[in-house]
Amino acid sequence: MLERKKTKIDPRVDWFEPVRRVLSPMAGVTDRSFRNACRPFGAQLAFCEFTAAKGLIYDSPNTWKLVDTLDEVDPVGVQLFGNEPEALASAARLMRGKRLDILDLNYGCPAKKVVKKCGGSALLADLPLLEEITKAVVQASPVPVSAKIRTGWDEESINYIETGLLLQDAGVCWVTLHGRSRAQKYRGEASWDAIAELVDALDIPVIGNGDVVDGESFSRMCEHTKCHAVMVGRGAIGNPWLFSEMEAADRGQETAKPSLDDILDVVEIHIADVGSLRGEVIGSRIVRKHIARYIRGFDGAAAIRRELYETDTAEEMLSILREMRSK
């Protein structure tokens, strides 16, 4: 296994000690079906879509659907966002009796609709409020709390070391660092140097995030930063095999790229799983964007994608994919 820094693991999350591969919370992506697709390939901890604290405390059915963890066996996390300490603490209390292993605080999302409400990475520009929120949630949560951050609001206000130390003192059990500022969003290269510096600065584990897209980049991040684990987001969409590559790389091995038949086998399972959990029509609409990413790069993928977006049922999708398999 690639070397990592020895850290203090909170005894309440002793299951986290062997974790190396984490699926990031992503809005509109990491529902139960996508987590189910990634698990067999080596995702050891997976997060639900990130969730608005106020939506939970106002008992919004659509918001509660995002916390779709009932009977999930493997480690699963819920991530909250918001900017009011008591609202976030109240949402944390509502997790009592729910199925989750970790409650994460979203201090990293760069999306305008989140930031304009002073949530996500906007809180990196208001550390007193970030600290107040964190302490309130740590006290209220029935499960251990972690946090995800970026390097800072912009290049003129890089503060990930200060933020990380604050979070550690506030009682979080680990910190995930995406190696970009909010201003960068997803542009440019992620700073693995920043992740390495945070690893050195903290006594608790640090999860590295940013620009890991295959086994080789996973190895390079681990070697460069000595982080406890690596979180992947966009790189896993349509590519659950990424986790297999990461697992193999951790052992100094390589894995073969999946064939079209391998991919379509997983797609068919994904379609059936979404349909069983969300219903035929809604499930079909949800899964289309995933299928488009699964088949990206294959001959005729653009035309097939257009056909898929005109379908309304799982059977229509499967028929299109069967034609693709037979060519």
Amino acid at 228: H
CA 198 to CA 158: how far, in whole Å?
12
Are the CB atoms for 49 and 65 separated by under 8 Å? no
CA 241 to CA 244: how far, in whole Å?
5
Cα distances from 45 to residues 20, 22, 177, in angstroms, run 9, 5, 16
Q: What share of the chain is helix, strand, coil (3-state, %, to 5)?
A: 50, 10, 40
Amino acid at 156: E
CA 108 to CA 282: how far, in whole Å?
29
- Strand 206-209 vs strand 175-178: parallel, antiparallel, or unpaired? parallel
Active site residue 173: no
Are the CB atoms for 67 and 53 separated by under 8 Å? no
Cα distances from 107 to residues 53, 88, 176, 204, 248, in angstroms, run 13, 13, 10, 18, 31
Q: How many helices (H) and strands (E) does the chain have?
A: 14, 9
Are the CB atoms for 110 and 83 separated by under 8 Å? no
Are the CB atoms for 20 and 44 separated by under 8 Å? yes
Catalytic residue among 38, 109, 173, 222: 109
Active centre residues (catalytic):
109
